[in-house]
């Protein structure tokens, strides 16, 4: 199936309209699991005449909204879709049929759908009906946007993003004379904070270890994002020590604990208790809860354990041009030789006000 994907230039009208479709899809990020975020624009005579995105599972797909807005103008037009239009009857009827029925002449697709019910059948159906189909426009961008969905379909577990903010000498917090970390006080500035809030809005769930919960009592909410919503809190707490008075316990919160721990009080209080002996098992459990993306927010023990287990898919490091000379490291895992250091691919460097965001991947996003 990979051979279907043509090598498409990153500029030009197709890429420009697909950028608009990706912007539509982004409106569903963090809201569509277990479904993908998908966007669609319908173009007629060089103008966008319809826009749509998939708002959440169970509701119509992106194409349906875009075709609805376009109405009769869709006839003879081109539809740009960030994911291969579906060919199956799921919670909704096939989008391929809707595009054919609306008289669309050409369909431009960013990436094929890894869902085994579709996986190429949508494109075949469109071509069989005589539509001109192009696959692969901004495929990398779309695949990255769909990382959570693709991870859930291909691996049965969420896409894991490790996030931390540190000084230029690699410290996430200052230490007091007695060796305990200084409490509050952000390492990075306002733009970095805003970016983190956007990530929280886009991710299905946000995880902390019990140490961080006990030390900071974080709320793990999305603040200052217009129309934003809160991710599901996930607390990794083998001994089920997290007090029920902690701020994270809102509807949808998950306690990940060991098979033997006594979590009766948490369960009685309405916390979803997930028992797992290992981190991979825990991630599969989160996948069964339809959590497709997980933002790891600390502390260093949790991040170090995930890295050691090979379970960090993406790293987002916010770096402040400040030096402490001593302090807490962002990750604290088992020793490993320099030759076995993990190396990021797809590296991106972006200034964020006075700070710098460095991000990249440790695993590739699953494709078809």
Q: Which residues bind ligand AOF (CB under 6 A)?
A: 35-36, 38, 54, 57, 61-63, 83, 85-86, 90-92, 95, 113, 115, 118
Residue 261 CB, nearest distance to Zn ion (Å)? 42
205: Cβ contacts below 8 Å, ≥ 6 apart: 158, 231, 232, 233, 234, 254, 286, 291, 293, 294, 295
Whether omega for the bond prior to residue 358 falls within 30 degrees of 0, making it cis, is no
Nearest residue to ligand AOF, by Cβ distance, number only: 90
- Select the binding partner of residue 118 from ligand AOF, Zn ion, none (C-beta < 5 to 8 A, by kind): ligand AOF
Residue among 63 and 297 whose Cβ is closer to ligand AOF: 63
Report if residue 276 touches Zn ion, rule: CB under 5 A.
no
Interface stretch with Zn ion, choices 20-28, 84-92, 162-170, 216-224 (CB under 5 A): 84-92
Active site positions, annotated: 63
- Select the binding partner of residue 38 from Zn ion, ligand AOF, none (C-beta < 5 to 8 A, by kind): ligand AOF
Taking the CA atoms of the chain, what radius of gyration do you get in angstroms? 22
Residue among 86 and 365 whose Cβ is closer to ligand AOF: 86
Residue among 154 and 186 whose Cβ is closer to ligand AOF: 154
DSSP class of residue 4 equals G
Total residues in contact with Zn ion, by rule CB under 5 A: 3
Residue among 112 and 172 whose Cβ is closer to Zn ion: 112
SS3 state of residue 111: strand
Residue 59 CB, nearest distance to Zn ion (Å)? 11
Nearest to residue 79, comparing CAs of 134, 34, 144?
134
Residue 218 CB, nearest distance to ligand AOF (Å)? 32
Residue 46 CB, nearest distance to ligand AOF (Å)? 24
Q: Which of 31, 61, 125, 171 binds Zn ion (CB under 5 A)?
A: 61
314-320: strand order across its sheet: 272-275, 254-257, 232-236, 205-209, 293-296, 159-167, 314-320, 355-361, 345-352
Residue 91 CB, nearest distance to ligand AOF (Å)? 3
277-to-274, 310, 311 alpha-carbon distances in Å: 10, 16, 15
Give, as ranges, the residues between 173 and 192 that touch Zn ion (CB under 5 A): none
Residues recorded for the chain:
368
- Please report which helix (H) or strand (E) contains residue 155, including its range: helix 147-155
Q: Which of 66, 95, 121, 208 binds Zn ion (CB under 5 A)?
A: 95
- Select the binding partner of residue 115 from Zn ion, ligand AOF, none (C-beta < 5 to 8 A, by kind): ligand AOF
Residue among 148 and 209 whose Cβ is closer to Zn ion: 148
Residue 13 CB, nearest distance to Zn ion (Å)? 24
Residue among 84 and 216 whose Cβ is closer to ligand AOF: 84
Q: What are phi and psi of 91, to 5 degrees?
A: -70, -15
Q: Which of 40, 83, 86, 161 binds Zn ion (CB under 5 A)?
A: 86
Nearest to residue 266, comparing CAs of 285, 243, 250?
243
39-44: strand order across its sheet: 47-53, 39-44, 78-83, 106-111, 132-135
- Select the binding partner of residue 91 from Zn ion, ligand AOF, none (C-beta < 5 to 8 A, by kind): ligand AOF
Residue among 95 and 324 whose Cβ is closer to ligand AOF: 95
What is the CA 189 to chain-centroid distance, rounded? 23
Q: Where are the beta strands (DSSP E) in 277-330?
A: 293-296, 314-320
- Select the binding partner of residue 35 from Zn ion, ligand AOF, none (C-beta < 5 to 8 A, by kind): ligand AOF
Nearest to residue 186, comparing CAs of 173, 195, 170?
173
- Please report which helix (H) or strand (E) contains residue 17, including its range: helix 13-26
Residue 123 CB, nearest distance to ligand AOF (Å)? 11
State the residues that interact with Zn ion by CB under 5 A.
61, 86, 95
């Amino acid at each position: 199936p990979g051979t279907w994907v043509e090598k498409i230039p990153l500029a030009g009208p197709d890429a420009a309209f697909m950028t608009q479709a990706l912007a539509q899809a982004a409106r569903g990020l963090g809201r569509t699991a277990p479904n993908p975020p998908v966007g669609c624009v319908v173009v007629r005579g060089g103008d966008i005449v319809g826009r749509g995105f998939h708002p959440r599972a169970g509701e119509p797909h992106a194409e349906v909204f875009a075709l609805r807005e376009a109405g009769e103008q869709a006839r003879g037009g081109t539809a740009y879709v960030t994911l291969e239009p579906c060919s199956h009857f799921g919670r909704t009827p096939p989008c391929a049929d809707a595009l054919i029925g609306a008289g669309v002449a050409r369909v431009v697709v960013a990436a094929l759908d890894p869902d085994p019910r579709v996986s190429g059948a949508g494109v075949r159906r469109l071509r069989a009906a005589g539509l001109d189909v192009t696959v692969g426009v901004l495929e990398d961008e779309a695949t990255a946007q769909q990382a959570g969905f693709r991870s859930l379909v291909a691996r049965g577990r969420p896409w894991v993003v490790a996030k931390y903010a540190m000084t230029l000498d690699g410290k996430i917090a200052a230490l007091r004379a007695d060796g305990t970390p200084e409490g509050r006080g952000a390492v990075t500035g306002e733009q970095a904070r805003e970016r983190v809030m956007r990530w929280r809005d886009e991710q299905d769930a946000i995880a902390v270890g019990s140490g961080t919960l006990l030390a900071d009592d974080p709320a793990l909410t999305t603040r200052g994002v217009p129309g934003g919503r809160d991710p599901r809190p996930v607390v990794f707490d083998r001994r089920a020590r997290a007090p029920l008075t902690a701020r994270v316990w809102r509807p949808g919160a998950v306690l990940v604990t060991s098979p033997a721990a006594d979590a009766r009080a948490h369960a009685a209080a309405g916390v979803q208790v997930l028992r797992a002996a290992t981190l991979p098992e825990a991630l599969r459990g989160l996948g069964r809860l339809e959590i497709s993306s997980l933002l790891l927010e600390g502390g260093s023990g949790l991040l170090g354990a995930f890295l050691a287990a090979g379970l960090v898919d993406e790293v987002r490091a916010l770096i402040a041009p400040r030096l402490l000379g001593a302090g807490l490291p962002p990750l604290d895992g088992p020793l490993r030789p320099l030759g076995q250091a993990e190396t990021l691919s797809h590296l991106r460097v972006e200034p964020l006000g006075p700070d710098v965001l460095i991000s990249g991947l440790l695993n590739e996003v699953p494709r078809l």
